[in-house]
Structure 1
Amino acid sequence: MIYVTQGHELGIGIEVFLKSFSLLNSIQQKSFRLVANKDTVENNLKLLNFEYKIHNDKIYYNSNILNFIEANSTNLPQSTLSLNSALDRVTEKDILLTLPTSKDQLIDNNELRKGYTEFLRYRFSRQNLCMVFKAYEDATLLITDHIPLSKVAESIKAKQINEKVITTLNGFNKYFYPLTEVILSGINPHCGEGGLLGHEDHVINDALEALKHTIKVIGPVSGDTLHFYSNSGEKQLKVYMFHDQGLPVFKDKYRTIGLNITLGLPFLRMSVDHGTAFNIYGKGIADFSGCYYMLKEAIKVNRKLLDE
């Protein structure tokens, strides 16, 4: 089963999902369950001028039939409610898709979490969950993600790099395809220039020593040139040490066609690689190509899991 959580009620998440879902055939549509607030879904359907009916656990709109789970109403944000409702149901044979929300909407155990990955880290007590970005056969792993830049160097340990790379290799092998080469960036510009720009990059070398017994590895290489190593013919995993070191190249290349993936959970979690776009909410003009890519990838993974 593929569960889809609604994200922020004033974002474009439900709009792009409803549009993308319409492009699937009736067999593919049966695998999905939207977990959301009923009023929010109805509001989006009205804003899109879709003819619709919601009856029991089904949403009928245009010629589509969407399985629906209404998130229970409490005083928590709708993003948290829909996510909690999905997590109560999801198993290791299921897939969780999360639509965009803002960083003030996810609350777990009375604590505000700074995003889906952090929320899931604490919920499942797995500190080394991996934030990975995928577009077609391009895979990018971030060793640190949503932390202040000033804390990056002190947060990175060789064991952490090793564990996250291995988790990502195993996850890709299970859900997507086997990776055959790993390229690691340095932390400092030009990998520290032999100490002139810092000595933090020794941890990369320590990680490389451990990883080279498992897979072909390259590095450390300068973060601003790592993407030039992408023509080797290998199925590569690009490993960047922090968020804004790795994502500018990825997002510039793929725009909205990309997946934000969490690996290391008992199940696969994926999201679109774009935000809420509050400024165009309700205008019916949101680009849904990224969401459609996510749904198609989820269908392929779901088929693979069912065949196991």
Structure 2
Amino acid sequence: MGDPAGVGAEVIVKAAAELPAAERAGLLVVGSAETLERAIAATGVDLRLVTGVVEDDRALRLDAVEVPGTPLPFGKLDPVGGEASYRFIARAVELAQSGRAAGIVTAPINKEALNLAGHHFDGHTGMLAHLTGSRSSFMLLASERLKVIHVSTHVSLRDAIGRATPERILETIRTGHAHLVRTGYSKPRIAVAGINPHCGENGLFGREDDLQVAPAVEMARQEGIDVVGPISADTLYYRAYSGAFDLVVAQYHDQGHIPIKLVAFDTAVNVSLGLPIDRTSVDHGTAFDLAGTGKAKHVNMLAAIAYARKLADNKDQAK
């Protein structure tokens, strides 16, 4: 359900209310019953929370995880919201790892609240890697015409350059390639963005592209992956959006997030790769300024649910 002070509960109930009854019956919301009831009242949707068998077309199943100190006022940053976010996710991971859920769709959390609660993660991706015991994970932002996987995400730009090692870039390429094959691309066309302006201009603006990016691309090509790069980021995204590539490997957070949010702000889906479970998410924050008003858009949540269903349908291809 995400942070109980944010818009997570509202976008969940609005999306659930719009789904056909058969699809809604396959959902299980992990969160606070009272917060979800308030969200139903704020949005005016026709839903009934149930904790058992779905017996009517307007039912929404709930796995209630109540946290001391909740419900919270909408729109207020609070460590209790961070604690609740962590407990909701931990419960969802438990359900997915046990096979009782095919995957997880997450509503937004607040990173500051999460850390104030004592859970020192950079966001969902790092937390999910920790909870599943994964060595590493990768963030993919997926939209209809542009898909971007990131070498690093929530670190400083200085640290991001250091993390862009040939080994990490190669693993990012491999992970993105495998995901696209799983989702129906027979031979994905991948392009890797450079780190420096104009990929360094043969050392004029730095040697990182020659020493860190190019070797990773060559190793991936030797493995049979259709990949090119480094390509200057100022032209690469236009080419990918126009159909030249199926996936872009971005070197750091803003290099990948800005173009996606420009062309698919409401529909892009955040997908965590490299984990033993499937996870998708909305690509927006808690929007404290809208929380409780019922005005938050749920288009992104619908897209995240649809992507998760697609992954569930081809789960066997991930093996």
Per the normalisation by structure 1, the TM-score is: 0.89
Whether the aligned pair in 1 keeps the contact of 2:83 and 2:117 (CA below 8 Å) is: no
Aligned counterpart, 1:205: 214
Q: How has the CA–CA distance of structure 1 residues 303 and 242 changed in structure 2, closer, same or farther, with 3 Å as cutoff?
A: same
Whether the aligned pair in 2 keeps the contact of 1:105 and 1:112 (CA below 8 Å) is: no
Letter of the 1:146 counterpart? H
Counterpart of 1:45 (choices 20, 40, 47) is 40
How far is 1:294 from its partner?
1.6
CA deviations 1:64-90 (Å, max 9, x no partner) are: 211110014357721111111111111
How far is 1:277 from its partner?
0.9
Counterpart of 1:277 (choices 287, 291, 294) is 287
Letter of the 2:16 counterpart? F
Counterpart of 1:88 (choices 84, 88, 94) is 94
Q: How has the CA–CA distance of structure 1 residues 58 and 146 changed in structure 2, closer, same or farther, with 3 Å as cutoff?
A: farther
Aligned counterpart, 2:3: 8
Q: How has the CA–CA distance of structure 1 residues 108 and 304 changed in structure 2, closer, same or farther, with 3 Å as cutoff?
A: farther
Aligned counterpart, 1:3: none
Residue 120 (structure 2) pairs with residue 126 (structure 1): no
Residue 186 (structure 2) pairs with residue 181 (structure 1): no
CA distance in 2, matches of 1:72, 1:200: 49
Q: CA RMSD in A?
A: 2.6
CA deviations 1:208-231 (Å, max 9, x no partner) are: 110112222221111111113227
Counterpart of 1:142 (choices 143, 150, 155) is 150
Whether the aligned pair in 1 keeps the contact of 2:145 and 2:241 (CA below 8 Å) is: no
How far is 1:58 from its partner?
6.5
Whether the aligned pair in 2 keeps the contact of 1:13 and 1:99 (CA below 8 Å) is: yes
What is the aligned-residue identity percentage?
Answer: 26
Whether the aligned pair in 1 keeps the contact of 2:187 and 2:226 (CA below 8 Å) is: no
CA distance in 1, matches of 2:23, 2:4: 25
Query: Which runs of structure 2 are paired with 1:1-308 in the superposition (5 Å)?
Result: 6-50=1-45, 53-57=48-52, 64-73=58-67, 77-91=83-97, 94-106=102-114, 110-175=118-183, 177-178=185-186, 180-201=188-209, 202-213=211-222, 214-230=224-240, 236-305=246-315
Structure 1 segments unaligned to the other structure (5+ residues): 1-5
Moved over 6 A (4+): 58-61
Q: How has the CA–CA distance of structure 1 residues 108 and 37 changed in structure 2, closer, same or farther, with 3 Å as cutoff?
A: same
Whether the aligned pair in 2 keeps the contact of 1:271 and 1:294 (CA below 8 Å) is: yes
Structure 2 segments unaligned to the other structure (5+ residues): 69-79
CA distance in 1, matches of 2:108, 2:241: 32
Aligned length: 302
Aligned counterpart, 2:71: none
